[in-house]
Amino acid sequence: MSSNNNFSYFLLGLGIGAGCALLMAPRSGAETRNYLQAKAQEGSELAKRQSAELRNMANETLERGKQNLREQVKSVTDAVEAGKQAYRESVGVRS
């Protein structure tokens, strides 16, 4: 029974708040809609710009990672080849 009463108070407060908002709104309905549409468009454009920047940063990071990996693979390959060559020389096998 108490939760029903609390919900009724919530709805009453919601209605009073909505009524006050309508009475005290500084703009007309059309102005408010235009303002909200402009802000939504700005937010959409900002999200597109930021997602493009994030995508570019991710691609750059990925390319740097690939380059580092290629360098590491080359280093390991060179070390293995040097080890093989040293082994061949120590055993006396010529290639």
Q: What is the DSSP string of 17-59?
A: HHHHHHHH-SS-HHHHHHHHHHHHHHHHHHHHHHHHHHHHHHH
d(CA 39, CA 92): 78
How many helices (H) and strands (E) would you count in the chain? Answer: 2, 0
Segments making up each domain of the chain, as ranges: 2-66
* Residue 70 clears pLDDT 70, i.e. is over it: yes
Contact 35, 27 (CB under 8 A): yes
pLDDT of 48:
92
Which pLDDT score, from 0 to 100, does residue 94 have?
A: 58
Q: Please give the pLDDT value at position 59.
A: 96
- Residues 55-84: what's their mean pLDDT? 96
Tokens of 31: 């102005």
pLDDT at 25: 75
Q: What is the pLDDT of residue 95?
A: 52
Residue 74 has pLDDT above 90, yes or no: yes
In this model, does residue 64 exceed pLDDT 60?
A: yes
Each as own residue / partner, the long-range contacts of residues 74-82 (CB below 8 Å, 24 or more positions apart, any chain) are none
- Chain segment 2-52, per-residue pLDDT in tens: 667 888 888 888 888 887 777 777 777 788 788 878 988 998 999 999 999
CB-based contact 32:39 (threshold 8 Å): no
